[in-house]
Structure 1
Amino acid sequence: MYDLKQKEVINVKDCKRLGFVGDVDFDIKTGCMLALIVPGPGCICGFLGREKEYVIPFCDICQVGNDIILVDLKEKENTEKVKC
């Protein structure tokens, strides 16, 4: 988990930097990773929480490298909006 938090997530669709891994969703019964959770940019310099977070299903992860994780993210389908 700690190793994943040091990696930057990049969307291969538009080469957009999404941020760094904030959390990982696991299936507690099987121990399999279900999704990566990447916090979005902060609202008003980070004072009022986050604008949105990216929930990236495991099947959308293309490649995990030494420094980055490449994902094929369909932004409208896989993002969760959080109001500031």
Structure 2
Amino acid sequence: MCRTSDLKKKEVINLHDGRRLGFVSDVEINMEDGRLEAIIIPGPGRIFKMIGKDDEVVIPWDHISKIGDDIIFVDMDERFMRKYFD
């Protein structure tokens, strides 16, 4: 079992290109059925989750490949990466 607070300590890495995307800052939970819908990481250019762009990158649960002890692997395609990280 994993708590949402444990997820915030994990770095998110894209398996598609090996890019480090950042650390989980928040999660989206479906309150009707209690399921985790997505993880959220600060957009590029944000420092300390406060300064810079206030874009957040929402990664849907179905794009999460594996959750390890320290890392969350996601599989995001090139279109997604260009939209948020280029």
User: Structure 2-normalised TM-score?
Assistant: 0.77
Any gaps of 5 or more consecutive residues in structure 1? none
| Identity rate, percent | 45
More helix by share: 2
Counting matched residue pairs gives 80
Q: CA deviation at 1:48?
A: 4.8
In the alignment, the residues of structure 1 paired with residue 35 and residue 71 of structure 2 have an alpha-carbon distance, to the nearest angstrom, of 21
RMSD over aligned Cα atoms? 2.6
Work out which of the residue numbers 70, 73, 81 in structure 2 matches 1:67.
70
Work out which of the residue numbers 11, 30, 40 in structure 2 matches 1:8.
11
In the alignment, the residues of structure 2 paired with residue 4 and residue 10 of structure 1 have an alpha-carbon distance, to the nearest angstrom, of 13
